[in-house]
Amino acid sequence: MTSTLKISHLTKRFQAVEALTGVSLAVEPGMRVALLGHNGAGKSTLMKIVLGLIPFDGGTVEVCGAAPGSPRARAQVAYLPENAAFHPALTGEEQIRQYLSLRGENPRQAMDLLARVGLADAARRRIGTYSKGMRQRVGLAQTLIGRPKLLVLDEPTSGLDPVSRRDFYALLDGLAAEGAAILLSSHVLTEVEARTDRILILSRGRLVAEGTLADLRHRAALPVALHVTPANGYAADLAAVLPGARPGAGGQLHLDCPQSEKLALLARIAGQGARVADLDLVPPSLEDIYSHFSRRDGQ
């Protein structure tokens, strides 16, 4: 399969700052990729290079088989900045019609595009009356002009409430299902965990981890947390057979266990039979995994 976006050994320097160092990655059609990293990690720089807005110093970048910023690449890429700004006096329909005209497309598509992002009913209201979530949808409608093959979304859900976020990701799911590749940056790890196929972690301009959440979880090999609730009167007995268990609220016992010892420990707990009232097993969250990888170089 031809990658929609292919980056090899990309390097970018701003005077003394090495913003990107040897970054290589590929995004395939229909893939939803999350770009994570601390402030200053290089996410925006990477996006700007993909969009052809700034030059790079070394390596290669191919956007839909073309050079970033070339007419062929620009025709197939769409960008949604973190805070998309629109003219408050225009209606959603007028704004999208204007963008369609600028792109040389038929302005009559505006209502269809707005309907796709759930704004059909509000299309004839001024954007000044829209909520932040609705404005982001106008932004997404604008990115859909010309059926782009790659969507670059810079923190697209920042400032949105949980329901608007969920709706926004549902729209992205639909676009990915139609074959669009999506590269988005986010600081909200829980939503990325559930709604993307691949995770890239940048730290000080270097790609320190890349893969599915399962890959990263496996590679990080972080301990699993176990919360054991003893049956009435058996707390001391269980604590005796679970060395290292820490007492917690409600009489629970907490344990951290290396992945390699998880099954043996579960068998030991199961062997306690009715002395155990309940057991919760909590795998490392994306936040734990993110901290593990992004702190490796001392950040």
Ligand X SMILES: Nc1ncnc2c1ncn2[C@@H]1O[C@H](COP(=O)(O)OP(=O)(O)OP(=O)(O)O)[C@@H](O)[C@H]1O
Q: How far is the CB of 41 from ligand X (least distance, A)?
A: 4
Give whichever of 50 and 171 is closer to ligand X, judged by the CB atom.
50
- Dihedral pair phi/psi, residue 296, rounded to 5°: -60, -30
Please give the Cα distance from 47 to 153 (Å, whole number): 9
State which of residues 22, 29, 30, 40 lies at the interface with ligand X (CB under 6 A): 40
| Cβ-based neighbour number of residue 213 at 10 Å | 19
Give whichever of 39 and 260 is closer to ligand X, judged by the CB atom.
39
Does residue 19 touch ligand X according to CB under 6 A?
yes
Q: How far is the CB of 201 from ligand X (least distance, A)?
A: 11
Token digits of residue 162:
């949980």
Give whichever of 37 and 230 is closer to ligand X, judged by the CB atom.
37
What part of residues 177-216 is at the interface with ligand X (CB under 6 A)? none
Q: Label residue 270 exposed, middle or buried (CB < 10 Å: 0-12, 13-18, 19+).
A: exposed
Does residue 43 touch ligand X according to CB under 6 A?
yes
* Residue found under tokens 């990701």: 169
State which of residues 21, 27, 32, 45 lies at the interface with ligand X (CB under 6 A): 45
# of chain residues touching ligand X (CB under 6 A) = 11
Please give the Cα distance from 269 to 155 (Å, whole number): 43
Does residue 122 touch ligand X according to CB under 6 A?
no
Does residue 39 touch ligand X according to CB under 6 A?
yes
Return the range that interacts with ligand X (CB under 6 A); candidates 11-19, 108-116, 135-143, 192-200: 11-19
Sheet holding 17-27, edge to edge: 17-27, 5-14, 58-63
Q: What type of residue is 198?
A: R
Q: How far is the CB of 39 from ligand X (least distance, A)?
A: 3
**Distances in whole angstroms, Cα of residue 13 to Cα of each of 17, 19, 20, 55:** 6, 5, 7, 10
Q: How far is the CB of 176 from ligand X (least distance, A)?
A: 23
Question: Can you count the helices (H) and strands (E) in the chain?
Answer: 11, 13
Does residue 37 touch ligand X according to CB under 6 A?
yes
Please give the Cα distance from 4 to 71 (Å, whole number): 16
State which of residues 2, 9, 14, 282 lies at the interface with ligand X (CB under 6 A): 14
Contact residues for ligand X, defined by CB under 6 A: 14, 17, 19, 37, 39-45
